Amino acid sequence: MEAANRGAREAGGRSVGCNIVLPCEQQPNPYLDRSVTCRYFFVRKVLLFKYSYAFVALPGGLGTLDELSEALTLIQTGKIRDFPVVLIGCAYWQPFRDLLHAMEAAGTVGADDVQLLLITDDIDEAMAHIRLHAIDAFGLRRRPLKPSPLLGEGPTLTAGSIAGGRP
C-alpha cells in the first residue's frame, strides 16, 4: 500500500490509507494524509472496494491474495461491475494465472469472470487498461478536491451538526 500512497502524494493527490490492527508489523506508512484504522479485515476490505474503481496488486503475501480473491469474487458475483484488476509482475503472478486456467477447465470459474484481469510488467499497459475499464467506463474526471469533514479536513463534525442542530 505504501507505493500507492506515495504515488498519490507525489502526483498531488490525497493519500488515504486503510490500516488494520495486527499483533505485529503493521504500521501506517509515512505517505498518508489521512489514515483509517480498522479492527477487522472485512471492514478494511469493504472500505477498499467501496471507494475504488480499480484494483492493482503487486507481488505480496496472503493479505494481497485475500484481497485479490475478494475483488475477483465481487466481480464474479456482480457486486462490482466492470471493475478492472491489474496484477503487476508477470513472473510472480504466473502460478496464479495457471490456477485460474485450471479452475476454468474444471468449470468453477468462467472465462468472463476474469475478463477484466490483466497481468503485466508494463505500467503504460496497466494505465491504459484502467483508463479504458474504469476512468472512461465510469466517466471519471479530475476535479478540485473539496475538504471532507469525514476525513478530518475542514470544519469538524459534531453530533449536533450531523443531526442538523447547532454544534
Rounded to the nearest 10°, the torsion over CA 19, 86, 117, 107 is -50
Helix (H, G, I), strand (E, B) or coil at 165: coil
Cell of 81: 461491475
Question: Model's pTM, two decimal places?
Answer: 0.75
Which pLDDT tens digit goes with each residue over 24-62? 766 788 888 888 888 888 888 888 888 788 899 999 999
Which pLDDT tens digit goes with each residue over 108-161? 988 887 777 999 999 999 999 998 988 887 777 766 666 766 666 665 444 444
Q: How many CB atoms lie within 10 A of CB 42?
A: 9
* Domain covering 53-139: architecture: 3-Layer(aba) Sandwich (3.40)
| pLDDT of 20 | 84
Q: How many CA atoms lie within 13 A of 99 on its CB side?
A: 7
Domain with CATH 3.40.50.450 in the chain: 53-139
